[in-house]
Amino acid sequence: MMQKTDPVAQADHVAVIMDGNGRWATARGLERLKGHVKGVDRVREVVRAAPDYGIGFLTVFAFSTENWKRSEREVTGLMNLFKRYIRGEAATLDDDNVRVRFIGDRKPLDRKLRSLMDELEKLTETNTGLKLTIALNYGGRDEITRAVGRIAKAAKMGMIDPADVTEQMIGNFLDTSDLPDPDLIIRTSGECRTSNFLPWQACYAEYVFTETAWPDFTVAELVKTLNQFRSRDRRFGAAVAK
């Protein structure tokens, strides 16, 4: 078993852009969806290992608002995969004391998937272990736009004075209002961009971009990445003490 160390507990909230599933499959002569299926196995492993390495909050980017641009076959396959994951993992997640939440715009999702999401949130809402957040039909600009719309509506109704709008208030209207900002954001598969993932919340997050595709991102890779994070000097805008 891999040696666990106390310092990695500094990464209380880890968020992951799980990239490279389709390319992983294509490189092996497989249908792209096979890569996503393999990626689900990695989600399962990382979720189970996360508390052992001091991670209290884990947020995974499952499907973006831009992913609708993919082929109808792939999108349909992904939606069915999400349903199978929820059905297949619900009892285990509950037994493991994991609390699950979904962020993103649910309206475009089909009724059955929305129902399963609601049921899983309800099933696990009193759990006190790992807080797993699944970003499904999520886009950072979309999230901020929806939050601004809610603030504007509240102001129009006289519930908010525009002069009182603060960063904290905006944060309270975001999908992640009950989550701490991420300490570490990992992107797999060699791409070095943030892809509209948690732009408000990640303003002081540390990023690690790894060449490893998500289907190959083992617990050992997670620990390696946590150790990179541990070596960072996080100053949050403050000067270095001389």
Active site residue ranges: 19, 67
59 among the known binding-site residues? no
99 among the known binding-site residues? no
Taking a C-beta distance cutoff of 8 angstroms, is the pair 53, 222 a contact?
A: yes
Taking a C-beta distance cutoff of 8 angstroms, is the pair 33, 77 a contact?
A: yes
| Burial letters 31-65, b for 16+ CB under 10 A, else e | ebbbbbbbbbebbeebbebbeebbbebbbbbbbbb
DSSP string, 191-224: ----TTSSTTTTTT-EEEE-SS-GGG--HHHHHH
23 among the known binding-site residues? yes
200 among the known binding-site residues? no
187 among the known binding-site residues? yes
Phi-psi region of 98 (alpha: psi -120 to 50; beta: other; left: phi over 0): beta
193 among the known binding-site residues? yes
214 among the known binding-site residues? no
115 among the known binding-site residues? no
20 among the known binding-site residues? yes
231 among the known binding-site residues? no
234 among the known binding-site residues? no
189 among the known binding-site residues? no
Q: Determine the Cα–Cα distance for residues 42 and 95; give it in Å rounded to an integer.
A: 19
Q: Determine the Cα–Cα distance for residues 21 and 34; give it in Å rounded to an integer.
A: 8
Contacting residues for 55 by C-beta, under 8 A, at least 6 apart: 11, 12, 13, 14, 130
Helix (H) or strand (E) holding 143: helix 140-156
Binding-site residue positions for Mg(2+): 19, 206
Binding-site residue positions for substrate: 20-24, 32, 36, 64-66, 68, 70, 187, 193-195
Binding-site residue positions: 19-24, 32, 36, 64-66, 68, 70, 187, 193-195, 206
